[in-house]
C-alpha cells in the first residue's frame, strides 16, 4: 500500500493547479483571437518613401505660390487691390502677401487631421521668429549651397523632414523684402533663394492612399487660405467683382472654384505623373 503524499506536497500541487488554471484562462482571454484583434494601423500593402510625397507637395506649393503671387498679388496690385502683412486687422483693407498665404494654408492643413507640417523660414526673415536655427540652419546652408532639397529626421519629435528652396519669383518679393523696415537684408534680387519651406510628417513611408490623402489635405489648405482672402475681400469698402474674371482683367477676384480650377489645371498633371511613378526606384531627382 502506497503511503499518502505528505500534506505540504499536496498543498503545492493544489496551488500549482490553481495558478495553472488562472494562467490558462488569462492566456485564452488575452490571446484567443475572438473577438478579432484591433487593427494595427500598419498597412501591409506597398508603401512610398515620404521623400517622394514631399517632392509632390513642394511642387504643388510652387504652383499655388506662383499663381497667387503673379495672378492675384501682382496683377491685383496693378488693378487696385491691396496686400499687406497685417491683412487680418479689421482696419486694413488688404489680402495676404505670398508668405502669409502659405501660412494660412499651413494652418488650415492642421485642421484636416493629416499630420503634415508646413513652415516657411529664412536666414534673413522679416519676422525674427522665422529665422532658421539649429538643425534647420545647418540643412538650409546645404540647400543654399546646392540648390537642392534636404531630407532628414527630426529625431526628438520623430518627424521626417524636408527643406525645399524658396526663390524670389516676382519683383514684388524683392521690393517688399528690401523696403520692409524690419528686414535684416535689403539687397535681394530676382531669383535669389530667399529661404526654404520645411515639410514634416511622422512616417518615413506611406501607402499610396495615404499619399493621396496628404496631397488632398494640402489642397484643402490652399482652398481654405483662398476662402480667407475672399471673406476679407467681401469687407472692402470698394468691393471687387467676384466671379470668373481675374485681377489682370480688372478690379475682379476669381471665386474659389475658379482659382482652384486654375491651380488644378497647372498642378494635377505633374502630381498624377509623380504618383504613377511613386513605386519606381531610384527616387526621381525633381
Partner 1 sequence: MSQAPRHSSTERPLKRVAYVLGVAVAAAALAAAVMPQLARFHAKGPANTGHAALACTDCHKEAPGTARQQLQAKVQFWVGGRERDAAFGHERVGNEQCATCHAREQDSHPVHRFLEPRFAEARAKLGAESCVSCHREHTGVRVTMPATACATCHQDLDLKREPLDIPHRQLVARQEWQTCLGCHDFHGNHKRTTQTRVDDAYPPSAVRDYLAGGPSPFGRDMKYPTRTGGQ
Using CB under 8 A as the binding rule, the residues of this chain from 110 to 129 that contact partner 1 are 110-111, 113, 117, 119, 121, 128-129
181 near partner 1 (CB under 8 A): yes
Determine contact, residues 252/78, Cβ cutoff 8 Å: no
Closer by beta carbon to partner 1, 67 or else 118: 118
Number of chain residues interacting with partner 1 (CB under 8 A): 41
Site for partner 1 in 51-90 (CB under 8 A): 88, 90
Backbone angles phi, psi at 182, to 5 degrees: -95, 0
Interface with partner 1 in residues 216-275 (CB under 8 A): 228
Length of the chain: 286
Instruction: Identify whether 35 is preceded by a cis peptide bond (ω within 30 of 0).
Output: yes
Q: Which is nearer to partner 1, 107 or 270 (CB)?
A: 107
How large is the C-alpha radius of gyration of the chain?
A: 28
DSSP H or E segment with residue 151: strand 150-154
Residues 260, 270: Cα–Cα separation, whole Å: 16
Site for partner 1 in 17-36 (CB under 8 A): 29-31, 35-36
Q: Specify the stretch interacting with partner 1 by CB under 8 A; choose among 14-22, 104-112, 206-214, 278-286.
A: 104-112
Rank residues 1 and 90 by Cβ distance to partner 1 and give the closer one: 90
At 209 the three-state DSSP class reads helix
Q: Which of 66, 70, 75, 154 binds partner 1 (CB under 8 A)?
A: 154
Amino acid at each position: 500500500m502506497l503511503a499518502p503524499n505528505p500534506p505540504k506536497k499536496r498543498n503545492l500541487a493544489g496551488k500549482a493547479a490553481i495558478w495553472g488554471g488562472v494562467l490558462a484562462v488569462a492566456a485564452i482571454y488575452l490571446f484567443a483571437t475572438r473577438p478579432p484583434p484591433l487593427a494595427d494601423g500598419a498597412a501591409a500593402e506597398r508603401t512610398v518613401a515620404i521623400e517622394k510625397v514631399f517632392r509632390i507637395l513642394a511642387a504643388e506649393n510652387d504652383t499655388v505660390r506662383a499663381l497667387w503671387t503673379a495672378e492675384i498679388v501682382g496683377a491685383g496690385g496693378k488693378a487696385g487691390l491691396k496686400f499687406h502683412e497685417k491683412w487680418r486687422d479689421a482696419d486694413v483693407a488688404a489680402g495676404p502677401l505670398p508668405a502669409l498665404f502659405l501660412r494660412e494654408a499651413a494652418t488650415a492643413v492642421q485642421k484636416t487631421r493629416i499630420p503634415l507640417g508646413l513652415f516657411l523660414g529664412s536666414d534673413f526673415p522679416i519676422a525674427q521668429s522665422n529665422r532658421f536655427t539649429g538643425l534647420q540652419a545647418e540643412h538650409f546652408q546645404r540647400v543654399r549651397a546646392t540648390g537642392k532639397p534636404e531630407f532628414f529626421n527630426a529625431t526628438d519629435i520623430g518627424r521626417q523632414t524636408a527643406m525645399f528652396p524658396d526663390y524670389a519669383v516676382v519683383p514684388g518679393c524683392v521690393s517688399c523684402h528690401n523696403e520692409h523696415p524690419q528686414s535684416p537684408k535689403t539687397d535681394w534680387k530676382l531669383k535669389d533663394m530667399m529661404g526654404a519651406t520645411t515639410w514634416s510628417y511622422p512616417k518615413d513611408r506611406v501607402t499610396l492612399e495615404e499619399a493621396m490623402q496628404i496631397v488632398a489635405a494640402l489642397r484643402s489648405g490652399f482652398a481654405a487660405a483662398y476662402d480667407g482672402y475672399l471673406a476679407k475681400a467681401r469687407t472692402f469698402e470698394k468691393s471687387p467683382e467676384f466671379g470668373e474674371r481675374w485681377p489682370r482683367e480688372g478690379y475682379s477676384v476669381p471665386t474659389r472654384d475658379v482659382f482652384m480650377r486654375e491651380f488644378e489645371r497647372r498642378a494635377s498633371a505633374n502630381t498624377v505623373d509623380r504618383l504613377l511613378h511613386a513605386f519606381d526606384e531610384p527616387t526621381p531627382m525633381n
